[in-house]
Structure 1
Amino acid sequence: MKGSLPYWYRPRPSAIWRWVLYANEPDVRCLRRWLFWVWWSRPRTPLQRLRAMWDLALRPVMCGKAALFAVVAYGERVRRIHGIGIPRQVLDVLGQVFGAGLDPVTYYQYQLFLRSRRGRRREYLDVSGKLLQVLAQRLPKGPDDGIFTDKVAFASWCRTWGLPVVGDHALIDPMAADSKSGFIPFPAEDLVVKPINWRAGEGISLWRCSLQGNEPVWEDGNGGKRLDARALWAHLQQSAVAMRRPLLVQPRLVNHPAIRELGNGCLCSVRVMTVRDGGQRPQVIATALRIPMGQCAADNFDQGGLGVGVDPRTGRCGRAVQKTGEYPLPLLECNPHTGVVIEGQVLPHWRATLDLALTAHERVRSALPIIGWDVAILADGPVLLEANHLPGEHIVQMPSGIPLGATPYPRVLCRALRRAFAESDD
């Protein structure tokens, strides 16, 4: 390859590295060897290569130091709440760092000090998204790969295959000359506005509709603005210009009555992670419910939403975790703001939700083997919201305590990497 290489590009492994990476079964240990290779094989100048060798020589010292810092930061709180002594935590964290290659903070993030999780700590994953990035660079582009980064393309793809998806009212173009260009009157209903290609719930806003006389007006979720249709159009166009990307205007969806009160009134969604190993049929490996909290219109886990482990077989909710605050995070039976019970709730239309994700994975023409589908469960059934080719690990591991390494995830990812690098194109 010539010219500037993408950050996640990696050349084909050398013969020695192929022996290291391909010699054993595709499992969690194999996945960690791939992660080390991704770090080591990053294109570097000779000086950067020397620095990498120096970092490698110092890694035991630096990892030990990071482990002690993690215990200092969080250990006393764990001792006070869970009764686990500091010496025991030090030994556990050092064993995790040097035995499994996990970041020290993962011990507290995933609560691996709990008896139910401690014995499986080597099966948890924390940075496997790096391998998905490398895979996305290496694999040939599929006809449908655009659906992972463009919400408009995703909605169009869903409609082509007859898959239920949220409708669109308008696309606000930041390149329009002025606020009157392309004006479309919105229906008198609540609206959700989102950038077409931002991730993690960034930039999403809710506009609640009410009548002022006979005319609809919209108020933003924080109560700061109250605009009529033309003023809202102008405001959204200015926002699109500021964000430098189109904004998608959609009707506000409302969850099934059985789960409508779990959050703050905004839409909850289910993350369904599916994998496909070569030409085999896709399968569900992990599920989680995401619940919006506070004033946030998005249910994203990284934006302060609750993450709830969901049993893939039954749709029964476990305890919830909010990814904010000081570790160790409490495992919650109820919504901490409203007191509504979450643990034990059974999600409606559960089989249809899983079938929708599996059908979508069967239809998508992409070589990417792992997809996270975001699905909203409405009164009349599930609808697709997004498809993520870089699904996070936290949302499916932190609440449930079920490690991804205990699922087909590492096997599928290792085999996909082997196939992707089987033929040299360098």
Structure 2
Amino acid sequence: MGEPSTLNQTRDHKHLPLAETMMRSQRESGTSLFTQAREIMALRRGQGKLNAEEYLGNRLFDPDISMDDKRRFLGIQAEVIVDRLCNPSFKGRAAVRDKIIFAAMMSALGFPVPKPLGFVHSTQTSFLARDLRDRDALLAFLRGLDGPAFGKPVDSRWSLGTASLDGYRSHTDSVVLLGGEEVGAETFADQVMGFAEKGYLFQERLEPHPEVARLAGRAIGTVRLLTGNLDGKSELLDCAWKIVAGGNVADNFWRDGNMLAAIDPETGTVARVASGLAHESRTHESHPDTGETLTGFTLPFWSQAVALVLRAATMLPDLRLIGWDIAITTDGPMIVEANTLPAFNLHQIASGQGIMKGRFEAFVTACKRSPT
């Protein structure tokens, strides 16, 4: 039985080699180094606050993209500015950042969320799940698993530390990961305890809708629905499907192989699928693992998913801009997480276009007019 590497505690972020990437961009696009540098400086000073890596990652060296369209892309610095503008209340962030608080709140309000199974923390009580105070309690929980579970740290981003478990195998004293790999129960418990100071949550593992699973496999790839809420009225601003591929257990784009799909907000139909950044950027018609066609596929329960997040957004009036992660399951859409700083670049990579347009641009403008 092989022992895999420990649960990810840091993101394996691969920085683009700027000089090498700019040289290659010049060769392949014809955009000179001088022009690239000039555009990077102009976009850095503009509303998008793009740095060189964001410029290159989004392939803005492409001469077919007009400068007006390039200005519609937002970098992480601009995202922070927009987030603080739209969500000036810091107290509202705690409700979505802490996964225990968020799950309890959404459940109490009657929204569908994954069922909590176990919570690892030395003192904090979850009220919803079995409290696992120490390593021995965690081992007893793992050895008692009679079905799938999904584990994640309470206070983390980018799916760091997540684990998708098929169950426990007693004759090898191991937990079985999605895909069949086994990890010794004691080894896995030691890895989880590395997150115990702030808490680690085990939930029921959601199973994707059969049509989604046929296209994209068994791992849940959530749909990111970006909502705006002003004066008690919520609207859908943008949406993207995070597609799992390459044997990954979670849908975050930083994991090699995962893809992003632009979704028609009216119909839930896949318009474009992309992976990679800069010169590794690719568009896809079909899923590389299953071979099934992705473009043109309409996500099940789309109208219900949109209605769900629009209703949920009104329950968090202190947060006017939220990125919801929604799982499309056999039983319908389910709320997995809600996010401030909701990663605008997911939408930009998926569509190949800057996010500062249409409904989103109008919403940000409205937030400027109503700062509190």
Same fold (TM over 0.5): yes
Distance 1:114 1:332, change over 3 A: farther
Q: Residue 384 of structure 1: CA displacement?
A: 0.5
Q: Residue 239 of structure 1: CA displacement?
A: 3.2
Aligned length: 341
- Structure 2 distance, partners of 1:211, 1:372, is 37
Structure 2 gap ranges (5+)? 1-16, 124-132
Tell whether the 8 Å contact from 1:221 to 1:295 is kept in structure 2 after alignment: no
Q: Residue 362 of structure 1: CA displacement?
A: 1.3
Letter in 2 for 1:361: A
Q: CA RMSD in A?
A: 3.3
Match of 2:324 in 1: 373
Match of 1:189 in 2: 147
Q: Which has more strand, going by share of residues? A: 2
Distance 1:201 1:180, change over 3 A: closer
**1:8-157 aligned within 5 A:** 70=18, 72-78=19-25, 92-93=39-40, 96-97=43-44, 101-112=49-60, 113=62, 115=64, 119-126=68-75, 127-131=77-81, 134-135=84-85, 138-139=88-89, 141-142=91-92, 145-157=93-105
Match of 1:9 in 2: none
Distance 1:219 1:382, change over 3 A: same
Structure 1 gap ranges (5+)? 1-68, 422-426
**1:121-270 aligned within 5 A:** 121-126=70-75, 127-131=77-81, 134-135=84-85, 138-139=88-89, 141-142=91-92, 145-174=93-122, 176-180=133-137, 183-184=140-141, 186-209=144-167, 218-221=175-178, 225-227=182-184, 232=185, 237-243=189-195, 244-270=197-223
Distance 1:375 1:77, change over 3 A: same
Q: Residue 217 of structure 1: CA displacement?
A: 5.8
Tell whether the 8 Å contact from 1:217 to 1:226 is kept in structure 2 after alignment: yes
Aligned-pair identity (%): 23
Tell whether the 8 Å contact from 1:376 to 1:385 is kept in structure 2 after alignment: yes
Q: Residue 98 of structure 1: CA displacement?
A: 5.5
Q: Residue 141 of structure 1: CA displacement?
A: 2.5
Return the index of the structure with the highest Cα Rg: 1
- Structure 2 distance, partners of 1:313, 1:389, is 24
**1:344-359 aligned within 5 A:** 344-359=296-311
Q: Residue 302 of structure 1: CA displacement?
A: 2.4
Q: TM-score normalised to the size of structure 1?
A: 0.69
- Structure 2 distance, partners of 1:303, 1:294, is 9
Distance 1:202 1:368, change over 3 A: same
Q: Residue 181 of structure 1: CA displacement?
A: 7.2
